[in-house]
Chains A and B, each alone.
Chain A
Amino acid sequence: MSGSEKVLVALVGHPNCGKTALFNALTGLRQKVANYPGVTVERVESDLASDLGHPLRVLDLPGAYSLNPQSEDEKITHDVLLDGMGTDARPGVLIVVLDATNLRLHLPIALEVRELGYPICVALNMIDLAEAAGMQLNVKYLEEALGCRVIPTSATRKYGLGPLVEAAAKLASSEFDASKTQWTPSTREQIILRRKSVEDILRRTVVVPGHPSLFTTRVDRFLLHPFLGPLALLATVFLVFQAVFTLGAIPTDWIDGVISSFASWTRSQLSSGMLSDLLVDGIISGVGAVLVFLPQILILFASLLILEDSGYMARAAFLMDRIMGRVGLSGRSVLPLVSGFACAIPAIIGSRSIQSPAQRLATILITPVTTCSARLPVYTLLIAAFIPNTVVAGLFGLQGFVLTLLYILGAVSAFVFAGLLKAFGLTGAGGYFLLELPTYRLPSMRTVLRGLLDCARAFIVRAGTLILSIMVLLWAVSTFPRPPEGATQPSISYSLAGKLGNIVLPVLEPIGFNWQISVAMIPGFAAREVLVSALGTVYAVESENSDDGASLTEKIKTDWSLPTALSLLAWYVFAPQCLATFAVMQREIRSLRLTLLSFTVLLVVAWLAAFITYQVASKLL
């Protein structure tokens, strides 16, 4: 049976009720899950896992508080249920996912969806947490009240999946014509009536209400405190970046040693010539230069995943709401912006969960300034080369402190840009912010490890495909044309890259960049971390003796001045060096004018920041 013949079973429910966790459990896929609302902003579908024994396809939809869409992601759910988003692929069965610990909030969507006429069943999810909180639910009565099967489930523990699939499969065999589905926005009277029904249902369903999580209440008293809360947030950020340096140093040195040994071994195995130069100077030096930063990137991702899964990220959004309001944003923008620490692309897509179009636009436009993980190799390389590894006040490392400052500078810049957008009338005033604060929980080891595995795989695949290919091309343009007979300068000076570097140099010289940086900067526009690889290749080709044992860190330490390094750091806080980010920005805001404007403004600001940094540092240092 082909995928198109299988009945589509859609998961519908509030944000953060565990739809994606259930989807992953049913399909065996690994879509991103986290303990805060608004993680899923796209529709994703896949076949039901074969061991569950039914030929069904499962569709995960973004969370929605009602069928009347208030944001782009809720609109997806609305469109899929009401017109299949213009395709034939409308669901044949709906599984309404409810958070068993918070039925008062979640039941209204079940009643609203029921009115559409779809065959439905209910997954009473997080039943394990409800039981742990001492709740007792009368599932039989809930079934009677909703007029459909209600199956207690725990997606994370894979509990109740068999009965849920059986119920969905049974519904799938019934006759249903989705094209006859009708929907009109609920009137005030309908909403009030639904609320009354919810209260009636709750009275007989919740036998014992259970007790709220005392742990969450107590911890929130401290973490959401108006004064202590922001301090705890700052301390958390600081600890993460200290960990990036202190914990990352040992495996980074180890990988660096392995790559150097591999380069020497490769050169010793090949007769000297162009193939040897390409493999060692182009590929191993270039790709190796960025691969050594894998441990640091994994530590950053692990920290983000733990904070997301514990429920703290939603608190960070809550804490930032008041500050964000001053620049026309709200705490809602914080969640996608924080995910921008990993990568700007999912952050831009994630902004679909923001209800206000003006706030969404502002969030997208400032996202490229948030410090994505691709900047980490550049920052780490420069900090390791130029900032002494000393302990300040006997408490923290100076290198980690400088890294934290760079991240804070990125966040402050994003805040200033948002303020400017508001001042120029491009975005509106900050709106209200409602956020369901999830209960704290111990981060799931499986979620964190899977996230890390995906991150490591994506990083290595990227290094082994795109970055490797760019390095091969960079080596070629750094090697050809060959120097003339009797040439006195290094051969790279006569190459195409050398000439290109000299053409760009007049623009970059006032900000302290040498021609090696100028050459590496050109491919660096494909992606930020490519600069590090490109520097590895350019210095290897230039030295024409890359097995001298000197690492890239040592080479730039002897070749660059401190003002040049600081200038490059300032450049990288703002520079729009990721074309994919702007491609996604254009797709999401559908305005080429604004996308180009954003790119140009960031480029000019990057140059000015680097210029001021270089000139001031040259005078002072």
Chain B
Amino acid sequence: MTGSDWLIVPIVAVAAFVVLRKLLVGQSKKECGGCSSCSRKKTTAGH
């Protein structure tokens, strides 16, 4: 790898972070319907 090719390292690292975050954190609040009552402080059970 030479010169600008090294730029792929941070790009791949950021991509890995985005995918891992999605896997570990799971669904974002926005995707789950934006219900503000849980605010991630408690489970969404019951509403």
Q: List residues of chain A with CB under 8 Å of any chain B CB.
A: 31, 42-46, 75-76, 79, 85, 87, 89, 270-271, 273-275, 278, 345-346, 349, 465-466, 468-470, 472-473, 476, 526, 580, 583-584, 587, 590
Contact = CB atoms under 8 A, between A and B. Distances in A.
A44 B5 contact: no
A31 B12 CA distance: 36
A584 B12 contact: no
Nearest to A472: B15
Contact of B12 (A76, A271, A476, A580): A476
Nearest to A283: B11
B12 A87 contact: no
A275 B36 CA distance: 42
A89 B39 CA distance: 13
B37 to A, nearest CB: 5
A526 B44 CA distance: 23
23 contacts: A42-B33, A42-B34, A42-B37, A45-B36, A79-B46, A85-B37, A87-B37, A273-B4, A275-B4, A275-B8, A278-B8, A345-B27, A346-B33, A466-B18, A470-B19, A472-B15, A473-B12, A473-B15, A476-B8, A580-B27, A583-B27, A584-B27, A587-B43
Contacts of A76: 46-47
A468 B15 contact: yes
A273 B33 contact: no
B7 A469 contact: no
Contacts, number: 83
A473 B37 CA distance: 35
B35 A44 contact: yes
Contacts of B26: 580, 583
Contact of B31 (A345, A476, A590): A345
A43 B31 CA distance: 15
Contact of A44 (B1, B16, B27, B36): B36
For chain B, which range describes its interface: under 10, 10 to 19, 20 to 34, or 35 or more residues? 20 to 34
Contacts of A275: 4-5, 7-8
Given A42-B47, A44-B34, A466 B4 contact: no
Contacts of B16: 469, 473
Contact of A278 (B11, B44, B45, B46): B11
9 nearest CB pairs, A to B: A472-B15, A469-B15, A469-B18, A274-B5, A42-B35, A76-B47, A275-B4, A476-B12, A469-B19
A15 to B, nearest CB: 17
Contact of B44 (A271, A273, A587): A587
A583 B31 CA distance: 12
B18 to A, nearest CB: 4
Contacts of B5: 273-275
A85 B47 contact: yes
A584 B32 contact: yes
Contacts of B14: 469
Given A42-B34, A43-B47, 11 more contacts: A43-B35, A43-B36, A46-B36, A76-B46, A85-B46, A87-B37, A273-B2, A470-B15, A472-B11, A473-B19, A587-B44
Nearest to A458: B31
Contacts of B27: 345, 580, 583-584
A468 B12 CA distance: 11
Contacts of B35: 42-44
Contacts of B33: 42, 44, 346, 349
Contact of B47 (A79, A470, A526): A79
Nearest to B17: A469
A218 to B, nearest CB: 37
B1 A75 contact: no
A75 B22 CA distance: 31
A270 to B, nearest CB: 8
A45 B18 CA distance: 29
Contacts of A349: 32-33
Contacts of B43: 587
